[in-house]
Amino acid sequence: MLLPAWEMCLYGLLTVGSHLYAFYEAHRVSRKYEAVMDRRFGLEPGTLFQHLKKDPMDFEWSYWIEWGRERILWLLAGHLLVSQVSRLLVEKYKPWCLMVYGMAACWLLLGIRGFAVILLHATVSFAVAQFQLSLLTWLCSLVLLSTLRIPAVEEAKRKWYDTENDYYLLLFTVSVRCLFCTSFSLEYCWHGRAQKSSHSFLWMLAYVFYYPMFHNGPLMNFDEFSKQMRRQEAFSLKTNLGVLIVGVIRIFFWWCLAELMIHLMYIHALCSSAPPLESASYWALGGLALAQVLFFYVKYLVLYGVPALLLQMDGLKPPALPCCVSLMHSFTKMWRSFDVGLHRFLVRYIYVPMGGSQSSLLRTLFSTALTFAFVSYWHGGQSYLWYWGALNWLGVIVENAVKRILSISLIEDLIERFFSPRTRRRLHAVLASVSTSMLILSNLIFLGGNHVGKIYWNRIFMEVDLLSDY
């Protein structure tokens, strides 16, 4: 039941007002430590906002923007041209035209050795999939993924390239390709014998080398990709042009917003230095936390928005873009709504095969733990990622346990008897605030590392004088 309009408006004003004031305090702290951050990290001259300096400490944003500006955006434009021409003239052969283009783009960016590594991963995965044993396929996938973390192999690959940026492009690309190879191989294990034509090695190459999702995702499972790519739809150049123009304007707006955030608030530089976080007011501390998770959200609207637009232009339905993290009030919703493609992969290939929510309690706990263990390992396997994975596992388990308890008929009857629908809604919001605070903490560990999570834990939960700002 909806709350009174005046109450909803009050909550809305409080939410917006607190966000804006927290961002203002984060901006003040950024100005206060600007000289210190400049000496330590080398703030960059503003590009879009020339009178302001820019925080360069978000590696992922700086890295992909630089690559996009130099080469990747041009190669994506080439993909768009090949796609539209093939849809217009040779719709039947579109997957193979795009496959050849993706392989050529891979060769151009990563060199013949990088191309050979990805082709080798695909070949080995396909060969192992012929046994049609899911466990064997997973072992193969984990072994291939683990080769990215062997120091001797890392050093050998570094020697192939002139710069670290070139090597990292291979590393990121192969990491994402491992998921694509795994998806195809498992689908082959389940359906390959009955659907050989749609699970051939050629289709695997078309999937693995599909360029819009090649370097950084988003992830689309092979069964979805294959069905959509094989489906032939009416093609309208005029309609596609309209979609392209609207999509480009939307992405440009998101890019401007992300750039504005790191010009006004030195989010990542401040979070890389303990003294400012330890001395900042609670409002500034909250503002920096909100700004960091919201910047991550806006960043992925851009990084996933570009390939999603190209998927639309190719006649495919991309995974939904991330939902705003300020609307997230549970771990479960965050995993379902932020990286939708990754969530579908985890559910389809790990969570459900291992038992999922329909099995016994012990098996549900195990399947959830295994899912988060894989996510932590795939992201790099560093210690802070294991803490992040453990917190998310614990959050999902506690949320589901509370839901199960509250769904017991006796408890449901008591709640309905003693609390009105509006009171129940308010109590739900109170409970959700606990989950939200833990969710933000886990995201801060993911984005800033254990030291940032420890500082926030000590400042927010361990310090007693919460009214020191006043």
- The pair of structure tokens assigned to 38 is 């400049």
Sign of CA dihedral 144, 102, 62, 26: negative
Q: Could you tell me how many residues make up the chain?
A: 470
- Distance CA(297)–CA(338), nearest Å, equals 8
The residues near 409 (Cβ < 8 Å, ≥ 6 apart) are none
The residue among 322, 320, 260, 252 whose CA lies nearest residue 291 is: 260
Half-sphere exposure of residue 134: CA atoms within 13 angstroms, side-chain side? 10
What's phi and psi for 53, nearest 5 deg?
-90, 160
Active-site option among 19, 191, 379, 451: 379
- The 8-class DSSP code of residue 319 comes to P
- Distance CA(320)–CA(318), nearest Å, equals 6
- The pair of structure tokens assigned to 8 is 């909803």
Is 379 designated active site? Answer: yes
Helix (H, G, I), strand (E, B) or coil at 336: helix
- Distances from the Cα of 327 to the Cα of 23, 116, 331, 339, angstroms: 17, 43, 12, 15
- The pair of structure tokens assigned to 453 is 């999570």
44 bridge partner residues: 54
- Distance CA(252)–CA(302), nearest Å, equals 8
CB atoms within 10 A of CB 17: 10
54 bridge partner residues: 44
The residue among 14, 41, 21 whose CA lies nearest residue 262 is: 41
Task: Give me the active site residues, please.
Answer: 379
